[in-house]
Amino acid sequence: MANIPHGGVLKDLVARDAPIQAQLVAEAATLRDLRQLCDLELIINGGFSPLEGFMDEKNYNSVVETMRLADRTLFPIPVTLDVSEAERDELDIQPGRRLTLRDPRDDQALAILTVSDVYRPDKAKEAEKVMGADDIAHPSVAYLRNRAKDLYVGGSIQAIQLPTYHDYVDLRFTPSELRAHFKKMAWRKVVAFQTRNPMHRAHRELTVRAARQRLANVLIHPVVGMTKPGDVDHYTRVRVYQAIMPKYPNGMAHLALLPLAMRMAGPREAVWHAIIRKNYVPASAQSTSKGPGKNSRGEDFYGPYDAQTLVTEFKDELAIEMVPFQMMTYIPSLEEYQPIDEVPKGVATLNISGTELRHRLRSGAAIPEWFSYAEVVKALRESYPPRTKQGFVCLYNSGKDSIARALQVTLNQQGGRSVSLLLGETVRSELSSELGFSAEDRHKNIQRIAFVSAELSRAGAAVIAAPIAPYERSRAAAREHVVSSAGPGGNFFLIHVATPLEVAEKTDRKGVYARARRGEIKGFTGIDDVYEPPKAADITVDISQQTIPEIVHSIVLLLETNGLI
């Protein structure tokens, strides 16, 4: 028997509002902009049914406390639109105000939000209740604490259009489209496998086994929205999924992409995924995916069966079955995979962990055929070359040009990759000429350098950035941006130049320290502006105690230790 969507009706707002699309487009030209994408797309295409907008304070509080909307419908994750106080004032956001929500990539109007309320969330409670801990080691708590703005805006949405994509268009299905596809194919029962990681032979065996046990077809439904920082980029992953699809029997499996911004909220996330799956698939079971990893104490955020237990608790209300993730292992004597808990004691098995796989990709070591398919390995190697071909970023915190220039010459002599040097004064004149030296302008300058560095490093360059970076938050944000957005080039090293202030003043041939002492330069780091020593430098050097060649050699050794040269 086919499942009805969660809440009883699929809330396809694009179809609902199609008759008034022209009117909405005309109105949108007069409205101010707010931008959000992944959540908005799943609201307007029905993936988040029964939601018809971003949660108001009443529904938000109810979901945080009880995992239910105010009308008692099960919904475990807050779906909210965050704004700053400055945006609230600038856009005059208040109840009754109508605002255009635009795609930040192409500025196209996607929907109109009619504001119901503006409220200040309790982020500590949200982290504790939804993610299970107010611990910034959890990527979603880090996002909540460091990136989400202070106010939430609730309101109903009228849809203008879905976002436009230029990648994998044939694999992007709305819930209505996927339901229609399964109806056309006469698929009455579907095992859906959601993942944010590449797939290998074990995953193929796992999904086929689940389908065989339930006499079902297979939906591979990977997340291509926001995932965990450091995950394999979605372009590479989709190429991997496309390579593995022909390994299924013809007609057994279908690949469709899910534009979800994951929260990695463990048990609550699993229930949320079940609801999304119910909206996409008429009759389904689902397999779970991995959690966010370790907390700040080095322990798993969630127990191995927490997600399965919570979904099972609501199975009647969800009308969907949880398929437990079975650890598969390879048995050489049989040349096949089996669930690890079904292997007789004493039988030899083989496995490669995620850590070992990443090591083999970095080093260029062989990845055996029993673990993955040659086509999959080829796709991964194209995007993740060996460490000696990957880009990296060295950020100096003091703007010490002599070290940076010497390191550039040494790396050019080493060869193997291009070397880019971003000196503080050069960046100031070419990229940030309109910025001053206030704390906020200094922060913006470092983030611009991080952006440029990440783009160069992703392309395989060695980047030496030597601005004055006096603030811990700026350095931490730069590291996070490079690591999360530079792909295989997300190798970041902070060099702490810990030279005493008096030495810097004594060797200052330009006289800028003297001018700062006389008050001619305001906001000068170390004189009348704070300098925050790095808390997590990868290496610390001091030109009052070391020569420039010694410092450069220590940095080269750091890069060599990390396999980059």
Distance CA 285, CA 280 (A): 12
Q: Which residue is catalytic, options 73, 195, 279, 525?
A: 195
157 forms bridges with which residues in the sheet? 113
| Omega prior to 78 cis, within 30 of 0 | no
Of 59, 52, 53, 56, the residue nearest 75 (C-alpha): 59
- Give me 510's structure tokens: 């330009």
Catalytic, out of 102, 172, 179, 196: 196
Candidates 3, 66, 197, 540; catalytic one: 197
Q: Is 268 a catalytic residue?
A: no
Are 268 and 232 in contact by the 8 Å Cβ rule? The answer is no
- CA nearest to 175, candidates 390, 348, 12, 30: 12
* SS3 label, residue 57: helix
CA 280/CA 5 separation, integer angstroms: 8
Phi/psi at 312 (5° precision): -60, -35
Query: Which region, left, alpha or beta, applies to residue 515 given φ > 0 means left and ψ of -120 to 50 means alpha?
Result: alpha
Backbone phi, psi, residue 350, to 5°? -130, 145
Task: Return the structure tokens found at 337.
Answer: 């995979």
**Cα–Cα distances in angstroms (integers) from residue 552 to residues 387, 404, 432, 497, 548, in the given order:** 20, 9, 28, 12, 6
Q: Which two tokens stand for residue 199?
A: 């797939």
CA distance 211 to 214: 5
Distance of alpha carbon 289 from alpha carbon 273, whole angstroms: 10
45 catalytic, yes or no?
no
Closest by CA to 424, choosing from 435, 412, 440, is: 435
397 part of the active site? no
Q: Radius of gyration over alpha carbons of the chain, in Å?
A: 26
Active centre residues (catalytic): 195-197
